[in-house]
Amino acid sequence: MQNLPQTAKQHLIIFTRYPEPGKTKTRLIPALGIEGAANLQRQMTEHTLSQVKHLQKTCAVSFEVRFAGGNLQLMQDWLGYDLVYQPQGEGDLGLRMTQSFFNAFQSSAEKVLTIGTDCPGVNDQILAEAFEKLQKCELVLGPAVDGGYYLIGLQRLIPELFINIDWGTSQVFHQTINIAQTLSLSVADLPRLADIDRPEDLPIWEKTLRMTQ
């Protein structure tokens, strides 16, 4: 565990997994093999980080990497010693996200986004738009084509948004919206984007690579 540096008023949390072969991107192993699937996880995390660093050139934003698998030393050897790393901890995705938002708001952040690394369409413009919308709305969501969401942004911790969600299913976005409506939250949506989870999604990643080269 690291001592956290000063958290900016706008803070970004990146959820990722250490790219250990056989334990990451498992649904893509039939198409890519265990090494290829792990390498994709590595590339997509690095792509996401590059977009966040672009954002920092125009926006006062701090960020941290919340990781599963591996350990702090492996993460530092992979992505560098100048980043803030925290283990995701135990529990389902909802519990882990609740904890990450709690920690960020405890560290004086006022607008917090959490993203994964599965969606190559998440670029610095999308992130800037999310922070901008979070100025006026209590909840910002980036809907994914598969029915989940690739981004969630909050002005304060709202734990109800992470309870009784069928994580990993096509119901996640709608269930979250239903909870938001029950709580009378003001909600803003971002553009709908595709995750890279299955072999048929790989052309989206290949297109992203061509556009960024």
Amino acid at site 125: Q
**Distant-in-sequence, close-in-space partners of 58: CB < 8 Å, separation ≥ 6:** 124, 128
- Distance (Å, whole) CA 94 – CA 112: 15
Sign of CA dihedral 213, 57, 102, 144: negative
- Cα end-to-end span (Å), the chain: 35
Residue 206 burial (10 A CB sphere; 0-12, 13-18, 19+): exposed
Question: What domains are defined for the chain?
Answer: 10-212 (3.90.550.10)
- Distance (Å, whole) CA 114 – CA 48: 12
* pLDDT tens-digit series, residues 81-112: 999 999 999 999 999 999 999 999 999 999 99
pLDDT of residue 2: 44
Is the pLDDT at 1 greater than 90, yes or no? no
